[in-house]
Amino acid sequence: MKKPVIGISGSITILESGRFPGYRRTYVNEDYVKSVILAGGVPLLLPLTTDPEIVKGYLDLIDGLVLSGGHDVSPLAYGEQPLQKIGHTLPERDVFDRLLIETALEKKLPLLGICRGMQILNVALGGTLYQDLDYVPDSQLKHDQYHDPSLATHEVSVDTSSKLFNIMGDKRVKTNSFHHLAVKDLGEGLVITAKADDGVVEAIEHNDYPFVLGVQWHPEMMASTDVKMKSLFEALMEAVLKK
């Protein structure tokens, strides 16, 4: 059987030193690649572009999509001005990710949004974000850990009626956490499927599509040591094979 080809959205890093300072390099973190392989897929890096025709070309190549983490989503992408605690943004990546999402949804392609990937999924569907956790009423938990990335540092409560619960098989899941933005207003058709104990949204999904999920943590950094996290990627493969 042919293995599902999973596109992974790429980002741009600007080299600070070495042979080519100021040079732009396209990349994804290797854990995304490893997690897709671990779950039985063929990973394919999708380099950042803002050309809709090229994005359509990407979508013709892939069976499923992982939206990777990275820069803060620009507040302008959801009609807000930047507040003081917003971090580094890369507006061209917002354009790229939205093109990917729109085209993937048109094709009903299975899609997993991770961290920033979940946030931009929400924004692409008309939702908004908190520009920092300090702006989330009553949020007290540490959501930006300084531990080994594979180490879970807080728990989330999973809605038992969700696809996420079916995949994880648990109402309480331990996750890592590397974010300072959070979902505020939900995009159209999305539902919240997991929350941290301080009310921060930790997972969303779309009920009108077979598999459109977003998680606020980084399962790819845990997939090699945590079967629940690996199962998220396996569920993406299953969704592709069912399509």
Catalytic residues: 115, 218, 220
| Torsion angles phi and psi, residue 74, rounded to 5 | -65, 130
- Provide the token pair at 211: 């598999």
For Mn ion, which is the closer residue by CB, 48 or 156? Answer: 156
177 binds Mn ion (CB under 5 A): yes
For Mn ion, which is the closer residue by CB, 143 or 163? Answer: 143
CA dihedral 62, 105, 172, 146 (to 10 degrees): 70
State the nearest-atom distance from the C-beta of 65 to Mn ion, in Å: 23
The H or E element containing residue 93 is helix 91-106
State the nearest-atom distance from the C-beta of 211 to Mn ion, in Å: 22
For Mn ion, which is the closer residue by CB, 11 or 177? Answer: 177
11 binds Mn ion (CB under 5 A): no
Query: What DSSP state is assigned to residue 65?
Result: E
Stretch that binds Mn ion, among 60-68, 114-122, 129-137, 141-149 (CB under 5 A): 141-149
For Mn ion, which is the closer residue by CB, 62 or 112? Answer: 112
Q: Give the separation between CA 164 and CA 243, rounded to whole angstroms.
A: 18
For Mn ion, which is the closer residue by CB, 141 or 186? Answer: 141
Q: Which of 93, 98, 116, 143 binds Mn ion (CB under 5 A)?
A: 143
CB 14 within 8 A of CB 23: yes
Query: What is the per-residue DSSP string for 218-241?
Result: -GGGTTTT-HHHHHHHHHHHHHHH
Provide the CB-side half-sphere exposure for 186 (13 A, CA): 14
Stretch that binds Mn ion, among 44-52, 85-93, 104-112, 172-180 (CB under 5 A): 172-180
State the nearest-atom distance from the C-beta of 141 to Mn ion, in Å: 7
State the nearest-atom distance from the C-beta of 198 to Mn ion, in Å: 9
Stretch that binds Mn ion, among 3-11, 79-87, 100-108, 142-150 (CB under 5 A): 142-150
State the nearest-atom distance from the C-beta of 216 to Mn ion, in Å: 5
Q: Give the separation between CA 16 and CA 153, rounded to whole angstroms.
A: 31
Query: What is the per-residue DSSP string for 114-152?
Result: ETHHHHHHHHHTT--EESSGGGSTT--S--B--S-TTS-
163 binds Mn ion (CB under 5 A): no
Stretch that binds Mn ion, among 13-21, 125-133, 140-148, 158-166 (CB under 5 A): 140-148
Q: Which of 82, 66, 89, 75 is nearest to 12 (CA)?
A: 89
How many residues touch Mn ion under the rule CB under 5 A: the total is: 2
User: Which residues in this chain contact Mn ion in the complex, by CB under 5 A?
Assistant: 143, 177
